[in-house]
Amino acid sequence: MDVIEVVPNLHMLRLEFGQAYLWHEGRSATLTDTAIAGSGSAITGLLTELGIDLELIVITHGHEDHVGSAAELRAATGAPVLAHGADAPVVRGERKKAEPVLLDWERPLFERINPNVPPAPPCPVDHELGDGDVLDFAGGARVISMPGHTDGSIAVYLSKSQILFTGDTIANVGQLILGTFNVDRARTIESFHRLAGLDTAVACFGHGEPISSNAGAELRAVAQKLTTDPAG
């Protein structure tokens, strides 16, 4: 696992597949996403090394590369797991995830990646989130409903520090783009535009490198070019 400081108090954890973000103040930490199943021991080892306690686990959506280690981490640390109400049944294993509507260019990428992502063990959801909820970390973290990638996708915005966790609505793999493998591409574009309207300094993505300064301007530049045309 690679541990990369994004800004003070915030680290990106790059795991075998997927990534997570650790916000910590004093001895208290919040984890946004958990990567694939089997990543829990590396994360708990880091918590021990840093001498901090995991107080909260926030899931941006119910895909296996984001929720895979949630059950393991919840059991190891006692930290409650939070997810949007629309994706909570997927996280709990009560309902299968909705399959993405793939564009032609996405299909070979999906067929190459998907078989290598292990199933996520079912995990209890201690609290179901909704748009506008405010979480008690980083001076107040606002939950923003971002339907499109999945019905229950969320972003988390730390208004005090202007930090945005986008989940998979946006990716930054080589370039800043709309996230792939969406259940509803048009709604994902609408969600991208909503995020681009925020006053964001730092943007952290489900896939790809964070942008550590002036992120809002970059998001707006890309949003202006987005189209519902599959080639756009």
Indicate the pTM of the whole model: 0.95
Query: Given CA atoms 48, 50, 55, 57 in this order, what sign does their dihedral have?
Result: negative
CATH architecture of 2-223: 4-Layer Sandwich (3.60)
Which residue ranges make up each domain of the chain? 2-223
Does pLDDT of 230 surpass 60?
Answer: no
Q: Using an 8 Å Cβ cutoff, are 91 and 81 in contact?
A: yes
Condensed to tens digits (0 to 9), the pLDDT of residues 78-112 reads 999 999 999 999 999 999 999 999 999 999 999 99
Q: For residue 64, what pLDDT is reported?
A: 97
Q: Which residues contact 8 (CB under 8 A, 6 or more apart)?
A: none
Q: For residue 232, what pLDDT is reported?
A: 46
How would residue 16 be classed by pLDDT, with cut points 50, 70 and 90?
Answer: confident
Condensed to tens digits (0 to 9), the pLDDT of residues 28-57 reads 999 999 999 999 999 999 999 999 999 999
Q: For residue 227, what pLDDT is reported?
A: 75
Q: For residue 229, what pLDDT is reported?
A: 55
